[in-house]
Amino acid sequence: MDVGLRPSESQAEGEEGGMKEARSDSGTQTSSCGVPSFPPNIAARVVGGENAVAHSWPWQISLQYFANGTWWHTCGGTLIANNFVLTAAHCISDSLIYRVGLGKNNLSVKDEEGSLFVGVDTIFVHERWNSFLIRNDIALIKLAKSVELSDTIQVACLPEKDSVLPQDFPCYVTGWGRLWTDGPIAEELQQGLLLVVKHATCRRLDWWGLLVTNKMVCAGGDGVVSACNGDSGGPLNCQAENGSWEVHGIVSFGSGRGCNIPKKPTVFTRVSAYIDWIKKKLQL
């Protein structure tokens, strides 16, 4: 199967100690979501991706696991409540210990101002996750404690249930993944403009064919900009009419032949297809 978007490995700085105290509020979406204190640069529309303005995607998290005495960045994710992170099911392994880095911009900076690391309470992988067919690639991580929202840590909005974006709708994929095929992991958070590809096109046999279902959203496929290894689990950020940013997708898979293959857009789990599932888990 021509899929090759895997969680990546990158050494992540930061100590478990020295975490800031966080409020223990209930795990619900706040009325204020998707509005960063530091607006992202969306004017440049740089082809191939670029460094993001620091903390301009303040719901982006770094999912890290512990091995050989250190923490390693493996996937992205999205803070959608003050104690819940949305990520991909394929990022999760039963055998690993995880923590979540919030408010991060540069993964190599140890005590980055405005950032903190939080342990994990429970991980909810979708009950119908199918790793062979890559179906229902969605998971929710309940944090060990709620975090206090700030200029550097905010929540993204969820899209309206069952909403589908039109062809060529501009969205941004963000993450610390490889910037090009077999390139190094990025230290600073990256953003890349991706245009949504309508389902009928993405399902064409010379695109992704039957691998893509209507619970997925495709974006990119121009042969230039794409999510790559290490962006798995991270958000597809799309701006609503009111200016707030919604997480319409979770990076799920891409082409095993490389990051930027024509007619092989990045495929995302379509968040709007799972709103009921998400809301049910947020109550747990």
Residues 118-144 have pLDDT tens digits of 999 999 999 999 999 999 999 999 999
On whether residue 97 sits in a domain, the answer given is no
On whether residue 206 sits in a domain, the answer given is yes
- Catalytic annotation present for 150: no
On whether residue 175 sits in a domain, the answer given is yes
On whether residue 83 sits in a domain, the answer given is no
> How does pLDDT run across 68-92, given as a tens digit for each residue?
999 999 999 999 999 999 999 999 9
Q: Kindly report the pTM of this predicted structure.
A: 0.89
On whether residue 156 sits in a domain, the answer given is no
- Catalytic annotation present for 95: no
Q: What is the pLDDT of residue 50?
A: 84
Domain extent, residue 197, equals 170-272
Alpha-carbon span 283 to 280, nearest angstrom? 6
Q: Which of 55, 90, 126, 248 is catalytic?
A: 90
Q: Which of 56, 62, 115, 137 is catalytic?
A: 137
- Give residue 227's pLDDT band: very low, low, confident or very high (50, 70, 90): low
On whether residue 73 sits in a domain, the answer given is no
Is residue 153 within 8 A of residue 147, CB to CB? The reply is yes
Half-sphere exposure of 220 (CA within 13 A, CB side): 30
On whether residue 236 sits in a domain, the answer given is yes
On whether residue 228 sits in a domain, the answer given is yes
Is residue 233 within 8 A of residue 88, CB to CB? The reply is yes
Smallest CA-to-CA distance from 22 within 117, 133, 164 is with: 117
> How does pLDDT run across 192-225, given as a tens digit for each residue?
888 999 999 999 999 999 999 999 999 988 766 6
Q: Which of 115, 146, 226, 232 is catalytic?
A: 232
Q: What is the DSSP string of the chain?
A: ---------EEE---SSSPPP-----S---SS-S--SS----SS--TT-EEPPTTSSTTEEEEEEEETTEEEEEEEEEEEETTEEEE-GGG--TT--EEEEES-SBTT-TT-TT-EEEEEEEEEE-TT-BTTTTBS--EEEEESS-----SS--PPBPPPTT--PPTT-EEEEEESSBSSTT-PBPSB-EEEEEEEE-HHHHTSTTTTGGG--TTEEEE--SSS----TT-TT-EEEEE-TTS-EEEEEEEEE--TT-SS-TT--EEEEEGGGGHHHHHHHHT-
- Give residue 2's pLDDT band: very low, low, confident or very high (50, 70, 90): very low
If one counts the domains in the chain, the total is 1
Is residue 174 within 8 A of residue 191, CB to CB? The reply is yes
- Catalytic annotation present for 2: no
- Give residue 252's pLDDT band: very low, low, confident or very high (50, 70, 90): very high
Residue 21 clears pLDDT 60, i.e. is over it: no
**242: which 2 tokens?**
């009111």
Q: What is the pLDDT of residue 24?
A: 34
Higher pLDDT: 30 or 126? It is: 126
For the chain, give the percent of residues with pLDDT over 70.
83
| 3-7, 22-26, 82-86: least confidently modelled range | 22-26
**CATH assignment at residue 187:** 2.40.10.10
Q: What is the pLDDT of residue 28?
A: 47
Residue 182 clears pLDDT 80, i.e. is over it: no
Is residue 60 within 8 A of residue 76, CB to CB? The reply is yes
Alpha-carbon span 45 to 50, nearest angstrom? 9
Is residue 41 within 8 A of residue 264, CB to CB? The reply is no
